[in-house]
Structure 1
Amino acid sequence: MQHPEPVPHPEPVPRPESAPRPGPRWTTTPLTPELLRGALDLETTERGGLQPHRLPARARAQYTDSQLSVAETQPSGVRLVFRTRATAVELDTLRTKRAYVGAPPRPDGVYDLLVDGRLVRQASVSGGNTLTIDMTTGTTTTESGPPGTVRFTELPREAKDVEIWLPHNEATELLALRTDAPVEPLPDRGRKVWLHHGSSISHGSDAASPTTTWPALAASLAGVELINLGLSGSALLDPFLARALRDTPAELISLKLGINVVNADLMRLRAFAPAVHGFLDTIREGHPETPLLVVSPILCPIHEDTPGPCAPDLGNLVNGQIQFKALGDPAEKAAGKLTLGIIREELSRIVTQRAAEDPHLHYLDGRELYGAADLTELPLPDALHPDAATHRRIGERFAKLAFTGGGAFAAGGA
């Protein structure tokens, strides 16, 4: 996917038909970096809007994979943050929603509105573009649509901190912000920045809304500022991703590694361990003493002892349900193919080895976040991704295990 070049002097953005005409009541506030958190880059689009990116331009240029491009433009953890006395807020956006051939329509992305840290409203937008994916052929088509407007009204009149969390699962171009009172950037609250990287589970796949992905829940419970680099299908130990983590200021860093390496059947055991070492070496160049927590995969029965690749079960797709299955053969482990069991052993060994000289490096077995007992109570609906209730459980457990007691981040919270 090619990204348009920034436009130095953009033309005025056409207003969605559903938005009211501006009048004395409305103040339009320029969308500037000071109002956005959780994005590593902002691109000016052909419409004159802003496209938040969760990877910097240099990283995006090094591998123009469509899977990665879709994932990093979906603004998981990205939010507008400001202080205002406004009782009404409108945000014009252009979304790109995914659809799958043969599957039921996906639910609309959700905008979460927080006032002084509390969730008070949720809304969605209409219109926008549709990216249709044919999982039988791997091809995609895009249908263009109009912008939409998300509105929040009847807010308290007093001065308040407002956060609008963008949908974690819809690419979102920001076009205009209107309020019925002036807006100012929110002062720094002095919270620690937690930088997290992981797979689609960290991205928020099948979570109910952007503040209920497990990293967002954990960040809220711990009182830290989240930068979420959970990238669906793309936690693959890429060097450009390690450099992005290295160059991003943060007081706390976690890496949830392994599941994508297995279900993509990306590498063998011989390559995996050196790749992990190299990934950690690069991060340590920019964060030599930052608490760094390596988290292995949660329980996923299809890949515990069976290598990848992973693929959709097209028989179930015909019935309108997407399920996943492992295509590897357990006998292939002898040839170096990876399973989640092997991944956990290697990650534990690597962290133990390095921790002898790096006391700020820690390991967490992902099955402490979601294990065999949880699978019985809360099975993975598609055999791969947790549902909304499981996101909450994982987030609560991570907050407890990482941020309290003897956890890796216990001294690093708010």
Structure 2
Amino acid sequence: MTLQRIAIDPAMVRGAVELEATGRGLLPHRLPRWARRQIPDRFMVQTSAESTGVRLALRTAADVIELDVQARRIAADAETPFPPSTYELTEAGAVAAVATAVAGSRFVFTFERPEGEIVPGPDATVRFTGLANGAERDLELWLPYHDAVELLELRADAPVAAQPDTGALRWVHHGSSISHGYRAETTTGTWPAVAALRAGVHLTNLAFSGNAMLDPFTARTIRDTPADLITLKTGINLVNGDVMRVRAFRPAVDGFLDTIREGHPETPIVLVSPIWCEPVETKAGPTVQDPDRAEEWSVAGGTEADVRAGKLSLQVIRAEIAAIVDRRQDDDHRLHHLDGLTLYSGIDAAASPLPDNLHPGPDVQRLIGERFAERVLTEFTPELQRSST
């Protein structure tokens, strides 16, 4: 069977803020070029390049679709083989087909050796078959959340076009590795994708593993990104890295919000506090590896005395976020607060513990996504639809 080559129309790509023409294809970015030049460390170079939430929105009657990619994945060394990465096709919010391909390139990085060497490798082909049902279908091809993916060539056995804009609500989210999807099984299993597919909204996921740090360049990126709803989930990375005290946290949150408001004066913004994480509920960071465990297991590197001296714990951050939103709502009626414990609490942790004492496993990723869709997306959708008419 001969497949026809399909030009990858930039209009097909959803969930990216910038597309780079590489000479071989298109490279989606979740930060614009000027912001990428301000990234302060090599770990964020890779995590911000990863494709969480990025997808191709296609309309086609094809039975077979192939996509050539050049994919890069983080690794602790240059030799250990990668497991296959999962690519998914969704239709009407449900997974319709799955294919796999192994990332050919790697970003060799550990926190003990943080140079971040790129080791180039071969391209790969993702192939979906058995798709036809006799009529055109609207499909979204989701890229793996843990890979940086360059789109090289698209082929199919029938014409493929970009899906027309349906007017679905544009949701921009910023968060940490929890929102990025770390420990989820697939991209559609990351909680923002679960929520977006459930609510039928267009997601742009600006979550950067380890790097929800209230960075000014992230605020400016959100400011410049079209959005009908903006949600900001902040706190855990500030404790992870022990990067702030209360004195710095308060104006940093205000400044982050002020910058976003420059481009979105009337857009609803929901500030979300951290979900439950036992090690740093009452103790300060940083979070560190438990030396008594061989497997990954996070514990607090600080103490409750450090918190009394002005450092951050999750309980402190939740109280500060609630106070900041309460204060600002006098002048900003479209700013809202969501307590992260309504998404995942200590009671939830007793039933579904975090597998490394820090990150949600696949079951909790789905739980958070379902709750977020119900408590945020479906709540704001009618308001946003009214404001757009």
Give the TM-score of the pair, scaled to structure 1: 0.88
Matched residue, 2:199: 222
- SS of the equivalent of 1:217 reads helix
Which of 77, 84, 88 pairs up with 2:60? 84
Does the 8 Å contact 1:83/1:160 carry over to 2?
Answer: yes
Q: How far apart in 2 are the matches of 1:236 and 1:413?
A: 32
Q: How far apart, CA to CA, are the structure 2 residues paired with 1:129 and 1:379?
A: 33
Q: Which residue of 2 aligns with 1:147?
A: 123
- Residue 51 of structure 1, aligned match among 16, 27, 39: 27
Structure 1, unaligned runs of 5 or more: 1-22
Pick closer, same or farther for the CA change 1:325–1:138 going to 2, 3 Å.
Answer: farther
Sequence identity of aligned pairs in percent?
47
Q: Quote the Cα distance in structure 2 between the aligned partners of 1:373 and 1:334.
A: 26
Q: How far apart, in 2, do the equivalents of 1:134 and 1:412 lie?
A: 43
5 Å-filtered alignment, 1:195-344, equals 195-313=172-290, 316=293, 319=294, 321-344=295-318
Q: Is the 8 A contact 2:180 2:209 kept in 1?
A: yes
Corresponding residue number in structure 1 for 2:94: 118
* C-alpha deviation, 1:297, in angstroms: 0.1
Structural RMSD (CA): 2.1
Q: Does residue 31 of the first structure (1) align with residue 8 of the second (2)?
A: yes
Give yes or no for contact 1:109–1:168 (8 Å, CA) kept in 2: no
Report what 2:324 is aligned to. 350
Distance in 2 between the 1:75 and 1:413 partners? Answer: 28
Inter-partner Cα distance in structure 2 for 1:391 and 1:314: 27
Q: Deviations over 1:251-297 (max 9, x none)?
A: 11100011111111111111100010011111111111111100000
Q: Given the superposition, is the C-alpha separation of residues 252 and 336 from structure 1 closer, same or farther in structure 2, using an over 3 Å criterion?
A: same
Cα distance, 1:314–1:96 mapped onto 2, change above 3 Å: farther
Mapped to 2, the partners of 1:109 and 1:117 lie a distance apart of 21
Matched residue count: 385
Structure 2, unmatched stretches of 5+, are none
Kept after mapping to 2: 8 A contact 1:41/1:53? yes
Q: Distance in 2 between matches of 1:64 and 1:338?
A: 22
- Flag the 1:134–1:358 CA change in 2: closer, same or farther, 3 A: closer
How many Å separate the matches in 2 of 1:136 and 1:401? 40
From 359, 367, 381, give the equivalent of 2:341: 367
Partner of 2:39: 63
Q: Distance in 2 between matches of 1:101 and 1:313?
A: 22
Q: CA deviation at 1:113?
A: 0.9
Deviation at 1:56, TM superposition (A): 0.9
Aligned CA distance change for structure 1 residues 305 and 116 (closer, same or farther; 3 Å): closer
SS at match of 2:230: strand
Aligned CA distance change for structure 1 residues 131 and 63 (closer, same or farther; 3 Å): closer
Q: TM-score scaled to structure 2, two decimals?
A: 0.94
| Superposed CA offset, 1:184-232 (max 9, x none) | 1111111110111111111111111111111111111111111111110
Q: CA deviation at 1:127?
A: 4.9
Give the 3-state SS of the residue equivalent to 1:401 in structure 2: helix
